[in-house]
A and B are shown apart, each in its own frame.
Chain A
Amino acid sequence: MTLTLIAILVVVLIALVFGALLGFASIRFKVESDPLVEQIDNLLPQTQCGQCGYPGCRPYAEAIANGDEINKCPPGGEATIKDLSELMGVEAKPLDAAHGVEDVKKVAFIREAECIGCTKCIQACPVDAILGAAKQMHTVIIDECTGCDLCVDPCPVDCIDMVPLHDSSENWQWNFKQVSVGDIPLRQL
């Protein structure tokens, strides 16, 4: 009987000691982490294009945190889906085609001669990347443009084009398959 008691006591004591130790450790070595929505938002490309069906990246981040699918972001593409799947601990899925397809990076370009200065695109731009005023010609600040496409539809005269960003030797990714070679008839030398 006493033996049983002692055994129980010892086990309880050990449990207490280790419990206290774990408790201490969890306080002492606490890891401060961003709230989930912040972390998701950080992974999204911030184009604010709304292709996911939400009005901007942060609302979509909130939706993901509440259990929405992670494959609704075409600008982010496969890379973003992979990052999100790692963060959320779910399986990476292919991009949901209903929301669009992954495309090369583009920026908006206003054919300035045709612009009538209606300011509709300025109102549509989610990141205020278009300069201009009523009855004045508008122009896009390329560095600020996220390529979200939202200014194209509102334009009444269709003077906005989405043009792909050009590769330059500064941002070349060492892809030799892109190098154009062979236009030179060497025998002529």
Chain B
Amino acid sequence: MDSGQLFNLTTIAYFASMVLYIAYIATKSNKVATVATLAALTGFIIQTGALGMRWYESYVILGSDHGRAPLTNLYESVVFFAWSIIGVYLFMEWKYFKKYRAVGAFVLPIALFAMLWGQMSLNKSIDPLVPALQSNWLTYHVITCFIGYAGFAIAFGVSIMYLLKIGKEEKHQGPEPMGGILGMFPPTKVLDDLNYKAIMIGFPMLTLGIITGAAWAYYAWGTYWSWDPKETWSLIVWFIYAAFLHARFTRGWAGRKAAWLSLIGFGATMFCYLGVNLVLSGLHSYGGA
């Protein structure tokens, strides 16, 4: 069995998990939610194995001197992004929202989409690294950035739920809880708190990602910051989430506006991750293709 097949199994598991999370919202059956979580966990474990396998395969294909962590091109990064999202999601579900698993229905699709894109249309070949990428900083930099991105992806899913629910909730009359699909969503107060918690994971990791990137740039090019488009966009993302973190303490900015900031932040994150490589050019251009 090679890593490609394991990644296919992962994709199937994430698809099943997504369907089950949606089914949970429709059926309100806790058993379905538990199975959804188990499917996601199974996929995560398989994917962890697949990443290890691809790492090992790089040593087989490129020789014992040139093997490297599977974090070096667009395909590998997309797959690692999916892994990070599910990892952070499972951690947060276990730690913060066992009671509100409907969130899974809004997070799993992001990871599934990443896996599908990677498996179906990206170049999967294991190529040797050009000199600029031969550095341990690469591993630290990519891991921290993607855990940060994963936190923002979860905040994105939660923010969509918040914005879908808040309007209806404000119109909702009476003491009885809301019924229907929105009734399965966590209360908006909880969603607001989860949004904050996900960004509390994402923001320090992004900070660490930017700093490890700066350290790497210093050792490779002699300057820790050069306003290259990728660097600048990571800083733009940082500014937006910093604004989000302060918006929560500011009257008139909490609630809806904060949720919108979280959506915009994720849009900027995705542009930083993909848009910069596909649209703009700069130091990270070899990360594409």
Q: Does B associate with A?
A: no
A residues whose Cβ falls under 8 Å from a Cβ of B: none
B residues whose Cβ falls under 8 Å from a Cβ of A: none
